[in-house]
Amino acid sequence: MSYGGDTTDTLGMGDVVSNESLANLLREERRFTPPADLAADANVTAEAYERAKADRLGFWAEQARRLTWATEPTETLDWSNPPFAKWFADGKLNVAYNCVDRHVENGLGDRVALHFEGEPGDTRSLTYAELQREVSQAAHALTELGVQTGDRVAIYLPMITEAVIAMLACARIGAPHSVVFGGFSADALATRIQDADARVIITADGGYRRGKPSALKPAVDEALTRPGTENVRSVLVVRRTGQEVAWTEGRDVWWHEIVDRQPEQHTPEAFDAEHPLFILYTSGTTGKPKGILHTTGGYLTQVSYTHHAVFDLKPESDVFWCTADVGWVTGHSYIVYGPLSNGATEVLYEGTPDTPHQGRWWEIVQKYGVTILYTAPTAIRACMKWGDDIPAKFDLSSLRVLGSVGEPINPEAWIWYRKNIGADTTPVVDTWWQTETGGIMISPLPGVTATKPGSAQVALPGIAATVVDDEANEVANGAGGYLVLTEPWPSMLRTIWGDDQRYLDTYWSRFENRYFAGDGAKKDDDGDIWLLGRVDDVMLVSGHNISTTEVESSLVSHPKVAEAAVVGATDPQTTQAICAFVILRGSAAEDEGLVEELRAHVAKQLGPIAKPKRIMPVAELPKTRSGKIMRRLLRDVAENRALGDVTTLTDSSVMELIQSKLPSAPSED
């Protein structure tokens, strides 16, 4: 295949630079066809694309039958008031029943649902029958605390079994949950409690992180001193670490005291397909967090189908492990609702990948015989940095499918993942989706797609995605633009909690009748989609639009670079100048010639226009808790400004480290 020749620069994004970079990345025409045995026995074959194309709504109606409905839906999509969708609107079901009870009724009560692995090494395997009892008891306890259908419950827990149980208990009684990531501060928690007007909070004394107990309850106590949180009646507290907690009589209740004494049977009530299931806040770059609202029937249909299709899950034999936190949408959809609705056996791990050693994840894969692993590029790059010898010490031969999510995965990391974790045989599926989309939207299928390192490639069956230019015209193959979704999908967000107008403005106003995802993307000559990062991560250099992702990807393809973050800093001559922050691989020395060597490397791969003006080797990069690089802060550094808000950083000392390296004179051309 070729990427040469003329390029249509419709947007400015699909310019020569980007195409040359793709050509370079694909120089070796690396394609990985599915392993024959996987393809022969795949859950979903190429025929699904045809079927969905011929009758998209019929296809989703068929997928809805994966679930057990109390009342079968007769209508599939009501799009009479776009963009406010109703899916399967006249159907009724209970999500917890679908994720737990029906498996027990089908004779699978003894199957392990969750292999819990605490960070200190304590373990607990919970069967579907045990999960049913615990979810039932928790549902009774919430009812005893006065939680009614429609009341919001905030969940602020570590990665322990109670997090999953609490979410399912809420779903069981029709009380929408709002899970707040346990790493967030009291401030962030308070804002989310206020916005959702939560009535009950489920938390723990603390959880284990990096070998130490890390408290959670004090943040709840502090959040509840803020105005706007007065409607919180009860705080349900799980005892996890045994650390001291302050106690507010009449408000605080120990989980074990109220849950354990409840009846073990609970009759699930069926709710409308459009009943709210959960609110999950995404921070975005500006303004107050957006409460993304997901509902019941469409959401569960799509997460169940995509989990079955994208990971090729065989519930009787697979052990699935998604390393995300339940506080992110990945945890909601691919730890809780997708896998459990499919009757999967999965791993739930509390801690960090390098506690107590850098092989912890691989030790867990070996211990439980994990067959499907779903993680994020940032984690893969951290493992690359730690060295190939670490995973090599463990038996990873059980793995048969590997997944990636959260940001563009650079081809280098993709190849490393396949080679060092997947024995150079497992398919790697790069899955593109968002909190807003609820489930996976663009991804290879492991038994069907010949994969290309770095590309999410194709919309799943039943999903309509494309790349358009400024005028909403679909771009030609080989060109870049904006990623849009052109048809409603079952697990789409229904609105922003309490703010329909903001829902319209944020997602549906840039292009008529199209959902604009905020991401830049391009189509290659085969029409496959490559994600290029958020459009606000595009730099303007001497009239050329250059994607930060592509420059980062080029830097990381140099053998001395482990990670890279690129920003555009205001520049009097070129509008923006490319500034790169790089983490070197273990053995690489930070000598005189290194910066020049890296600049030359990028110039050769992407063209002289993409050559970074400055390159700063650093020890760490500033990241949010979900692993996204905070370019805003790096831009502050690059432009010699005082730092903006650092409160959502995983580690705020990172910025001090980076700043202490300044000033380093910009290199001259």
Which residues bind to ligand WT7, rule: CB under 6 A?
Answer: 282, 328-330, 405-408, 430-435, 456, 517-519, 531, 534, 626
Whether the Cβ atoms of residue 290 and residue 279 lie closer than 8 Å to each other? no
Q: Between vectors from CA 116 to CA 142 and to CA 95, what angle results, nearest 5°?
A: 45
DSSP letter at 230 equals T
User: What is the C-alpha separation between 380 and 398, in angstroms, rounded?
Assistant: 18
Whether the Cβ atoms of residue 416 and residue 422 lie closer than 8 Å to each other? no
The rounded Cα 288 to chain-centroid distance in angstroms is 20
Contacting residues for 656 by C-beta, under 8 A, at least 6 apart: none
Look at the alpha carbons of 138, 144, 150, 154 in this order and tell me if their dihedral is positive or negative: negative
Task: Tally Cβ neighbours within 10 Å of residue 196.
Answer: 22
User: What is the C-alpha separation between 62 and 590, in angstroms, rounded?
Assistant: 58
User: What is the C-alpha separation between 495 and 523, in angstroms, rounded?
Assistant: 29
Of 147 and 517, the one with the shorter C-beta distance to ligand WT7 is 517
DSSP letter at 582 equals E
User: What is the C-alpha separation between 290 and 281, in angstroms, rounded?
Assistant: 5
User: What is the C-alpha separation between 564 and 312, in angstroms, rounded?
Assistant: 33
Length of the chain: 669
For residue 378, give the nearest of 622, 645, 637 by alpha carbon. Answer: 622
* H runs (alpha helix) in 74-182: 95-96, 102-103, 128-144, 161-173
Minimum distance between the CB of residue 75 and ligand WT7, rounded to whole angstroms?
A: 29
For 29-55, b where at least 16 C-beta lie within 10 A, e where not — what string? eeebebeeebbeebbbeeebbeebeee
Minimum distance between the CB of residue 548 and ligand WT7, rounded to whole angstroms?
A: 12
Whether the Cβ atoms of residue 599 and residue 612 lie closer than 8 Å to each other? yes
Give the helix/strand (H/E) hosting 541.
Answer: strand 538-541
Whether the Cβ atoms of residue 308 and residue 104 lie closer than 8 Å to each other? no
Describe the crossing of helices 631-638 and 653-660 by its angle, rounded to 10 degrees.
30
Beta strands across the sheet bearing 252-254: 252-254, 234-238, 200-204, 153-156, 177-179, 276-282, 290-295, 495-496
Whether the Cβ atoms of residue 187 and residue 647 lie closer than 8 Å to each other? yes
Describe the crossing of helices 47-54 and 56-64 by its angle, rounded to 10 degrees.
110
User: What is the C-alpha separation between 403 and 313, in angstroms, rounded?
Assistant: 12
For residue 149, the one-letter residue type is: T
User: What is the C-alpha separation between 184 and 283, in angstroms, rounded?
Assistant: 11
What are the DSSP calls for 282-293, one per residue? E--SSSSPEEEE
Minimum distance between the CB of residue 404 and ligand WT7, rounded to whole angstroms?
A: 6
The rounded Cα 651 to chain-centroid distance in angstroms is 20
Whether the Cβ atoms of residue 431 and residue 455 lie closer than 8 Å to each other? no
* Torsion, CA 469, CA 474, CA 480, CA 485, rounded to 10: 90
3-state SS assignment for residue 539: strand
What are the tokens at 90?
A: 């006249």
Pairing between β-strand 290-295 and β-strand 276-282 as defined by DSSP bridges:
antiparallel
